Each structure stands twice: as C-alpha cells, then as structure tokens.
Structure 1
Amino acid sequence: MPEFPFYAESRVGVDASPDAVFAFLDDHRNLSAHMEQKSWMMMGSRMDIHLDEGGARSVGSKFGFTGSFLGIPLSVEEIVTERDPPRQKAWITVVEPTLWVIGRYRMGFRIVPQSGSSVQTVFICYDLPQRFRTRWLGWLLSGFYAKWCTNQMAGDAARHFRHAIARIEKSNTPGTH
C-alpha cells in the first residue's frame, strides 16, 4: 500500500446503528452525491459515477468518475481494497487521476458504535497531482478541497438519517398520514 503525505478527515455523530450507516455509505452513489451535483467548489461542474455490476460492494470492485472542469476532462479510477461491515471500507486510485488539486489517494470510512448510535469518520490520504501544470494548484488548494470532500461525505450520512428520523416521527404523529 503506498504512503501518502497528506491527510484529511471528518468525523460526525449519526443517529443510526452502525449496520444502517454502513449500508448507506456502502452505496457509492450516496457517498459521491456531492460530486454528481453542480457546486461552487466544482465551479458549476459535476462528475458522473460509474459502478461495476456489484455496485462497488466487495473487495476488488472497480468504480470511478468522469466529468469536466472548465471544459477540461477529469477522471478517477478506483478499486475497493477493504470492506469490513459494519466497521469500515476503503478504496484507492488505480492510476494517476486527472484531477486538478489531488493526485493518487486512499479514501474510506470507519464507523464506531456509541450509545445506541454511531460515530462515522471519513478520511482521505493523498498526494499532489504529478503533472507540473496542476501540481501548484495542489499545493494551494488540496487541503481545502480534501476537507470539503470529507465534510460533504460525512455530512450527507448525518443529514440522511436526520431526515429519515424526521420522516418517521412525522408519520407517527397522530392525525398525519
């Protein structure tokens, strides 16, 4: 496993069991929802996720993203390297990604039970882009981008379960159907 010089993580409490949190995060469409939506961080661009037949739910599964940023093609190819339900999952890039601020990386999540709920940590260990034209952008922006990405992934799960709880509570309120 290669060593990466940079690291970012985001940790959040999730009001759900580790099994439920893992099931949500194990679906890479949920993890990458922030990449598939246009955002200011992507300057209005978005990426499309490509999953293998198993939905990237086993060790060795391949998946990735394609898109463009300011008209320049972007792509990432990844492979699942660890999967231990309901505790953790990790994946790594298999070739140098064509991204502007981050090069090769290892990413994943860990889930720890805590008082009837879960604490979820999303992490990324990464290198700067190898291409000279984008390496300087990596020096400037990679830390900010890595933290934004882990925050989005961790926050999406917390919001999902908060909304799920709100929907359940609303449906259990007398007089509502």
Structure 2
Amino acid sequence: MKTKSQTMLIHSTPEKVFAQMDDFSKTGMHMNESSTMMMGSKLTLEQLSSNPTGLGARYRWYGKMMGMIIDLSETVTKWQPPRFKEWETIGEAKIIIISWYRMWFEITAAENGTHVKLSISYLPPRQWFYKILSFFFASLYCNWCLGNMLTDTKKNLENKE
C-alpha cells in the first residue's frame, strides 16, 4: 500500500474548513470537470445514502475515461467534526490505476487560520496492464487529486471572507 499526503494553511476557521471538505460535491469538483489529468473526461457524483454527510454517508462516482468505465462507491468510515474525516471505496471499484483507496483529512487550528493535512492510501490494480499504468500514473494522479481538493477548499473559503 502506498500513501501520499499534502498539507495547506487555509485562512478560515476549522469549522468552515471542515464543512467545505465534508461536502463531496465541493472536494470532488475536479472530478466533475473536464481536465487534462482526466483526459478530457469527467465523472458524475451520486449520493447513495439518506445522509449527505456523517458516518456511513455513501456516494458513487461513475463515468468513462478514454472509453474505459470508472465506477466506484465510497463510504465515510470516521467522522469527527471539525477535526477529522476518513472515507474509502467499498465493493468492487472500477478505477483504472487504483484498485482501492482510503482518504482522510486532519484539521488543526493555526495562528492565522486552519492547517489541513489531506492523505490517500491506495492499492494498485490486480491486472498486469493496469498495474503498469498504476506504476507510471497513480502517484501523479493522487498528488493532482490532493492538490485540487486543498486548493479548491482554499479558494472557496478565502474568496468568501
């Protein structure tokens, strides 16, 4: 299993940062928009649980990238506002360069705002072709994803205050 982490100082309160990052439609904005990293594709987000946030909240991401199906579901496994949230893929995830992942963020108050550490641990796919793709692209993709999630949160909150 590999783990990637990024940290950022966001000039806002821990409560506002947690609320922003707790909303999958906001932290996953980079997945809903066409981008180079997604090869021009974008994914659709569907809420599966009755509760949009909190322990047990479930979501599904699906779409295609270069003709290959991407379809995965996530569930929140730990939820401690405004300090910590963890979620992971459940069931059989159809992801091109990763077979399973767990993500989490840790929030701590800082002198000029809030310090956020966002992390992902992941496993490579089982099939040899996708393992090769994972070897070359998984780390790059994970860093892109983490960076977008943190930057989007920072932009959304700091532009409002």
Q: Which residue in 2 is equivalent to 1:101?
A: 97
Q: Report the 3-state secondary structure (helix = DSSP H, G, I; strand = E; otherwise coil) of the residue aligned with 2:92.
A: coil
Aligned with 1:68 (options 64, 67, 78): 64
5 Å-filtered alignment, 1:157-168, equals 157-165=153-161
Please list every run of 5 or more consecutive structure 2 residues that lacks an aligned counterpart in the other structure. none
Residue number among 32, 39, 64 corresponding to 1:43 in the alignment: 39
Task: Give the whole-Å Cα distance in 2 for the aligned partners of 1:162 and 1:60.
Answer: 30
> Displacement, 1:152?
0.6
The reply to whether residue 113 of structure 1 matches residue 109 of structure 2 is yes
Once residues 110 and 96 of structure 1 are traced to their aligned partners in structure 2, the CA distance between those partners, rounded to angstroms, is 27
- The amino acid across from 2:56 in the alignment is G
* Corresponding residue of 1:169: none
RMSD over aligned Cα, in angstroms?
1.1
State the Cα distance separating 1:24 from its structure 2 match. Answer: 0.8
Shift of 1:96: 3.4
Between the aligned residues of both structures, percent identity stands at 26
Cα deviation digits, residues 11-44 of structure 1 (max 9, x gap): 1110100001001111110110000000000000
Q: TM-score, normalised to structure 1's length?
A: 0.87
CA displacement, residues 88-128 of structure 1 (integer Å, 9 cap, x when unaligned):
10001112321111120100211110014101111100010
1:21 to 3, 17, 20: 17
Task: Report how far residue 134 of structure 1 moved.
Answer: 1.0
Letter in structure 2 aligned against 1:147: N
Larger Rg: 1
What's the CA shift for 1:161? 1.5
Compare the two structures and name the one with the higher strand fraction. Answer: 2
Kindly provide the amino acid, as one letter, of the partner of residue 89 in structure 2: T
